[in-house]
Structure 1
Amino acid sequence: MLERVTLSSNGITLEPLTLAHATDLIEACQDGALWQINETSVPEPDKVMDYINVADSMTDRQAFAVIDERTGKAIGSTSFHDILPTTKRLEIGYTWYAKSYWRTHVNTTCKLILLTYIFETLQYQTVGWRTDVDNHRSQQAIERLGAKKDGVIRGNRVRRDGVISDTVMYSMVYSEWAGIKPKLAAKVQSIF
């Protein structure tokens, strides 16, 4: 398991997810009725505490609350998961934000914070992402980060509506980071 850390930049703080964030996250997931989107991991408002408890119980996941420093409130969540210390690989996922924060600096800031920590502090070699084959908004966001599409794993997930679906896999490796970091930083500054 990775050390639990708090990271921040550009008005966003990522801190370890705890039950203290439940009230804010209940409000955040209702901003856009996000739990109704089949292709995401957003909890239903009455299941937020279970969501936090499950995240905390997973041995290969480190979940963060995404805090808007202007309001002091949690506006979503993101996680490291499928952490493989031997191969220095992990994935970023379980990411969601209140809908009013979509298409703002928040997602790019979070990814810049996390990728900087992963590549420069942890010195991991590979970061992965996965998303539902029908979640085109998420695929575009991952591609805007500079991640490369690795392929599609067919029939490996069940959506909340019970439909078996495919997963699109992406990755970024350490050798790409030096070229990607300044672009992400510039993108954050242009929309911040």
Structure 2
Amino acid sequence: MRAPTALTLAHNGVRLEPLAPHHADGLRAAAADGELWKLRITSVPEPDHVDQYIFKAAEMRASRLAFAVVDAASSAVIGSTSYHDIVTELERVEIGYTWYAQSWQRTHVNTSCKLMLLTHAFETLGCALVGFRTDNFNFASQAAITRLGAKLDGVLRHHALRRDNTVRDTHMYSIARGEWPEIKAHLEYKLKRD
């Protein structure tokens, strides 16, 4: 597997750009759309912590490649997503740190982003497995991951701190290389239908 490097991906009116300081104002606006930082089960930064969020993502570059999610028509930043927990020796990467402005949730955006990232992971990087993880109380995320076709691998109990310092269980999901062709066909079908 090749390690992911900074790149821009585009599909279906959505662009993924390497997260950079010039995205800060757009990220602040996206987070404010629904006051998403108030959700205890997400990684959405508070507006006054966006610069730190971008800096931390850059600092983690060896294990995380962060993207700004951009609406291609307006060039508005509408969220963020990342490759993370990159383990080239195991041909494994995870997709996460994903969030979108409230007005873009339950649209074509998530399916488009996941199709781009999964296609790149399996067909360019050569991943054997792509993982996802989410909070045990983030039912919307669990449903979205399941709709992608990912399988629940298990639950890591008492696994990580939330922003309010409570401890969460983490639901772990994955898609294996052999499952990818059917899942890709399904995601493309969903986007055409929607």
TM-score using structure 2 length: 0.97
1:130 to partner: Cα distance: 0.4
Query: Are positions 1:190 and 2:193 aligned together?
Result: yes
Q: What is the CA deviation profile of residues 32-61 of structure 1, one whole-angstrom value per residue up to 9, with x for unaligned ones?
A: 000000000000000000000000000200
Match of 2:42 among 40, 51, 57: 40
Query: Are positions 1:15 and 2:13 aligned together?
Result: no
Measure the CA separation in 1 of the matches of 2:165 and 2:126: 38
Letter in 2 for 1:147: A
1:10 to partner: Cα distance: 0.3
Letter in 2 for 1:167: T
Query: Are positions 1:107 and 2:106 aligned together?
Result: no
Measure the CA separation in 2 of the matches of 1:17 and 1:189: 28
Partner of 1:133: 136
Q: What is the CA deviation profile of residues 57-112 of structure 1, one whole-angstrom value per residue up to 9, with x for unaligned ones?
A: 00200000001011101110000000000110010000000000010000000000
1:2 to partner: Cα distance: 2.3
Q: What is the CA deviation profile of residues 2-56 of structure 1, one whole-angstrom value per residue up to 9, with x for unaligned ones?
A: 2211100000010100000000000000000000000000000000000000000
Measure the CA separation in 2 of the matches of 1:147 and 1:172: 5
Unaligned runs of 5+ in 2: none
1:126 to partner: Cα distance: 0.4
| Residue-pair matches, total | 191
Partner of 2:90: 87
**CA-based RMSD:** 0.7
Query: Are positions 1:55 and 2:53 aligned together?
Result: no
Measure the CA separation in 2 of the matches of 1:77 and 1:25: 8
Match of 1:78 among 70, 74, 81: 81
The secondary structure found in structure 1 opposite 2:90 is coil
TM-score using structure 1 length: 0.98
Match of 1:124 among 119, 123, 127: 127
Query: Are positions 1:154 and 2:139 aligned together?
Result: no
Letter in 1 for 2:189: A
Match of 1:66 among 65, 69, 79: 69
Identical aligned pairs, as a percentage?
A: 53
1:161 to partner: Cα distance: 1.0
